[in-house]
Amino acid sequence: MKEIPIWEKSNLSLEEAAAYSGIGINKLCEITNEDRCKFVLWVGNKRLIKRSLFDQFIEQAYSI
């Protein structure tokens, strides 16, 4: 089975998003727990990060 590179995935797990961005898993959980978070996708209890919106969030953020 062929594995898809992180930069080609549309949704990332917390572990993949942490490796992709350099932001810790705990900080990602804190950010995505907010009601106004636009880049989180909940699949049951599983939290996925929408990569394209996450990239936009990082580009616009002054500090995290």
CA distances from 15 to 4, 44, 60, 62 (A): 15, 17, 22, 23
| pLDDT value, residue 57 | 94
Q: Residue 1: is its pLDDT beyond 80?
A: no
Q: What's the pLDDT tens digit per position in 21-61?
A: 999 999 999 999 998 999 999 999 999 999 999 999 999 98
Structural domain harbouring 33? 6-60
Domain presence at residue 14: yes
Domain presence at residue 1: no
| pLDDT value, residue 6 | 87
pLDDT category of residue 3 using cuts at 50, 70 and 90: confident
Domain presence at residue 22: yes
